[in-house]
């Protein structure tokens, strides 16, 4: 194989995506600029939907070469911080036109934004418990009690009798469970802990409701982003961690079957995630969670992922591009959801979200 042409092809492909808007700075980071006469939109936030968002923004630019969308995968908590934008620690490059979070902004956070906030459910996905037990050929089933016990640090060995009880006839190794958790402030963590608070009294008493960051008890390894957690699980025999379904699927990680409210052990799939979303009835603020969903086939940890938009933009051209971009993401962009492991939004959700986009305007 001739390596040089292959490398040149790869570099050329990267330049096609990046275009003339990217320049190397002294720190070796890509500096993103608007094309001549065009618009640059900056966004930051959740890693959970990042592969889908990057797909969207690349496809959108192919049809709109005068628009560059730069998205920084920094976690939901940091995305909200940049969106609020009042921290003196933020540089000009860290200020954003939109953000993304798997934990919708709270009323208190929204009150800090003078220009107003529009929450936009843009996609949805499944949070899985992925694990690395190469010699285990059978499915791993985890009841609500055992699942909570592991994350509370009460169940620390793979051959614990409570795990064995959920999986009769399966031989588990005498091996310590190494739990992999998020190091950054995370909407994926929020989705997981929202479910834990609904199914475990002990969790609720010790940690309260949903949280973007947890000081996890027990033997914990930490990593940044869904990609970091998935990679750490892949490398670490005996590990178990929480991650978006698409990241686990792409790395070929094994995923546990979790017990749902109906008592069934449900495999994480797009179908079981869609079964959870089927009951979605969005309130006027478009903020809806699924702490412990009903339904025989419903997977128990499913979340919307929100784009955070300002209700009013200082520049009319920016407002128009923001509206057109996210209308496209909510409609044509949904066709890319399945191939990347996300859940396509139901028509009623698309309708409500599109109406919300139409209400965005210049100041």
The answer to whether residues 244 and 136 belong to one domain is: yes
Q: Are residues 184 and 88 in the same domain?
A: no
Whether residue 145 is found in the same domain as residue 238: yes
Mark whether 140 and 106 lie in a shared domain. no
Q: Does residue 294 lie within any of the structural domains?
A: no
- pLDDT at 9 > cutoff 90: no
Helix (H) or strand (E) holding 320: helix 316-330
**Is residue 282 one of the residues assigned to a domain?**
no
229, two tokens = 């957690």
Convert the pLDDT of each residue in 244-253 to its tens digit. Answer: 999 999 999 9
CATH of the domain at 120: 3.40.190.10
Q: Considering 260, 277, 294, which residue would you say is the last residue of a domain?
A: 277
What pLDDT band is residue 88 in, cutting at 50, 70 and 90?
A: low
Provide the pLDDT for residue 18.
Answer: 39
Question: How crowded is the C-beta side of 182, counted as CA atoms within 13 Å?
Answer: 29
Residue 175 CA, distance from chain mean position: 30
C-alpha triplet 29, 30, 33: angle, nearest 5°: 140
Query: Does 150 have pLDDT greater than 60?
Result: yes
E strands, the chain, are 22-24, 30-32, 39-45, 67-73, 98-101, 117-131, 141-142, 178-182, 220-223, 239-244, 254-255, 257-259, 265-266, 302-310, 312-313, 361-362
Residue 118 inside a domain? The answer is yes
The reply to whether 94 and 132 lie within a common domain is no
In a domain, 8, yes or no: no
Name the pLDDT band for 217 (thresholds 50, 70, 90).
Answer: very high
Question: Quick check: 288 pLDDT over 80?
Answer: yes
What confidence tier does 19 reach under pLDDT thresholds 50, 70, 90? very low
Contact of 265 with 259, CB cutoff 8 Å? yes
Residue 356: inside a domain, yes or no?
yes
Same domain, 108 and 33: yes
What average pLDDT score do residues 318-330 get?
98
In the chain, the number of structural domains is 2
The reply to whether 156 and 248 lie within a common domain is yes
The C-alpha atoms of residue 176 and residue 155 are separated, in whole angstroms, by: 9
Residues 306, 270 share a domain: no
Q: What is the pLDDT of residues 151-196, one digit of tens each?
A: 999 999 999 999 999 999 999 999 999 999 999 999 999 999 999 9
How far apart, in whole angstroms, are the C-alpha atoms of residue 111 and residue 238?
Answer: 44
Q: Give the pLDDT of residue 83.
A: 96
To the nearest whole percent, how much of the chain has pLDDT over 90?
Answer: 85
Q: How confident is the model at residue 21 (pLDDT cuts 50, 70, 90)?
A: very low
Same domain, 120 and 132: no
Of 231 and 91, the structure prediction assigns the larger pLDDT to 231
- The number of angstroms, rounded, from the C-alpha of 15 to the middle of its chain's C-alpha atoms is 27
Strands (E), 18-82: 22-24, 30-32, 39-45, 67-73
Instruction: Please check whether residue 293 lies inside any domain of the structure.
Output: no
Note the pLDDT tens digit of each residue in 54-68. Answer: 999 999 999 999 999
Instruction: Classify residue 3: in a domain, yes or no.
Output: no
* Region label for 39, one of left (φ > 0), alpha (ψ between -120 and 50) or beta (otherwise): beta
The answer to whether residue 289 sits within a structural domain is no
Range of the domain at 339: 19-124+302-362
Contact 121, 345 (CB under 8 A): yes
Distance of CA 248 to the CA centre of its chain: 12
**Of 277, 312, 336, which residue constitutes the final position of a domain?**
277
Distance CA 121, CA 325 (A): 14
Residues 112 and 187 in one domain: no
Question: What average pLDDT does the segment 270-291 reach?
Answer: 94
149 and 259 inside one domain? yes
For 269, residues 6+ apart whose C-beta sits below 8 A from its C-beta are 126, 245, 299
pLDDT tens for residues 102-147? Answer: 999 999 999 999 999 999 999 999 999 999 999 999 999 999 999 9
Does residue 199 share a domain with residue 64? no
Q: Once rounded to an integer, what is the mean pLDDT over residues 259-264?
A: 98
pLDDT top residue among 25 and 155 = 155
* Position 29 confidence tier, pLDDT thresholds 50, 70, 90: very low
How many CB atoms lie under 10 A from the CB of residue 83? 25
- Structural tokens at position 20: 């003339």
pLDDT, residue 17, reads 37
Q: How large is the average pLDDT for residues 257-267?
A: 98
């Amino acid at each position: 194989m001739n390596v040089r042409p292959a490398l040149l092809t790869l570099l050329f492909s990267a330049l096609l995506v990046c275009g003339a808007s990217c320049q190397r700075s002294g720190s070796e980071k890509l500096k993103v600029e608007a094309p001549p006469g065009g618009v640059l939109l900056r966004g930051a936030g959740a890693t959970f939907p990042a592969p889908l968002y990057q797909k969207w923004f690349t496809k959108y630019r192919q049809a709109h070469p005068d628009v560059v969308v730069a998205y920084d995968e920094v976690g939901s908590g940091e995305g909200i911080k940049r969106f609020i934008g009042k921290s003196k620690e933020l540089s000009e490059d860290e200020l954003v036109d939109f953000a993304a979070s798997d934990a919708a902004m709270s009323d208190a956070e929204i009150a800090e934004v003078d220009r107003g906030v529009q929450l936009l459910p843009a996609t949805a996905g499944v949070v899985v418990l992925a694990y690395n037990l190469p010699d285990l050929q059978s499915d791993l089933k985890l009841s609500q009690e055992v699942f909570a016990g592991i994350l509370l640090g009460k169940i620390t060995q793979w051959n614990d009798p409570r795990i064995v009880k959920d999986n009769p006839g399966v031989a588990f190794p005498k091996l310590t469970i190494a739990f992999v958790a998020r190091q950054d402030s995370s909407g994926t963590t929020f989705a997981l802990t929202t479910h834990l608070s609904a199914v475990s009294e002990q969790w609720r008493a010790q940690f309260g409701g949903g949280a973007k960051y947890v000081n996890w008890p027990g033997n914990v390894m930490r990593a940044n982003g869904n990609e970091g957690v998935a990679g750490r699980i892949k490398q670490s025999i005996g590990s178990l961690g929480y991650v978006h379904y698409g990241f686990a699927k792409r790395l070929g990680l094994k995923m546990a079957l979790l017990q749902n409210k109906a008592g069934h052990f449900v495999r994480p799939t797009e179908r079981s995630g869609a079964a959870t979303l089927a009951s979605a009835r969005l309130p006027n603020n478009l903020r809806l969670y699924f702490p412990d969903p009903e339904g025989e086939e419903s997977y128990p940890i499913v979340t919307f992922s929100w784009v955070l938009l300002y209700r009013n933009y200082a520049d009319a051209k920016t407002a128009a591009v923001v509206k057109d971009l996210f209308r496209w993401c909510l409609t044509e962009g949904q066709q890319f959801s399945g191939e990347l492991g996300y859940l396509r939004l139901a028509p009623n959700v698309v309708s409500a979200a599109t109406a919300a986009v139409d209400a965005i305007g210049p100041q």
